[in-house]
Amino acid sequence: MPTMKLEIVTAERQVFSGDVTTIIAEGTEGQMTVLPKHAPLITMLAPGELVIRKDGDEQYMVISGGFMEVMPEKVILLADACERSDEIDLERATAAKQRAEDRLKSITPDIDQSRAEAALRRSIARLHVAEKRRRGPGYRPSV
């Protein structure tokens, strides 16, 4: 199977570097799958899940927005923040989701609604990815 080089970097560290066969990311315009020899593309990423595949081996990550630069042989992903599924603290993620939901319910003028919604989206994505790790690969939660 043809592969491409993938680098995931944040301002704080390099999260991933290696050869992959498939990348599935959450673009702002919808989900997209990137395969090797893709046309040059720069896209914004929405908070959500990132799946990378290498010879049937899947890895899940969660991203809280960023950019992806796609070139035929190489993909560079600039993430605002990125966690691998094994780094996610389930308890903290659940608490964060609860907090975001509470905030959205009790909306007041001094709460920024779009920020609260973004926080909720991030926490849901994080839980989603953590859940997958628990149930093993191939599992799709019914959300």
Per CB under 8 A, residues contacting another protein are 7, 9-14, 27-29, 39-44, 67, 69, 71, 76, 78, 80-81
CB 75 within 8 A of CB 7: yes
Shortest CB 51 distance to another protein, Å: 19
Strands 74-79 and 4-9: parallel
CA dist 59 and 136 (Å) reads: 11
Shortest CB 141 distance to another protein, Å: 27
Shortest CB 12 distance to another protein, Å: 6
Of the two residues 35 and 58, which places its CB atom closer to another protein in the complex?
35
Of the two residues 10 and 58, which places its CB atom closer to another protein in the complex?
10
Of the two residues 67 and 139, which places its CB atom closer to another protein in the complex?
67
CA dist 46 and 7 (Å) reads: 18
Shortest CB 73 distance to another protein, Å: 12
Nearest to 35 by CA among 78, 75, 84, 68: 75
Of the two residues 14 and 113, which places its CB atom closer to another protein in the complex?
14
CA dist 61 and 83 (Å) reads: 6
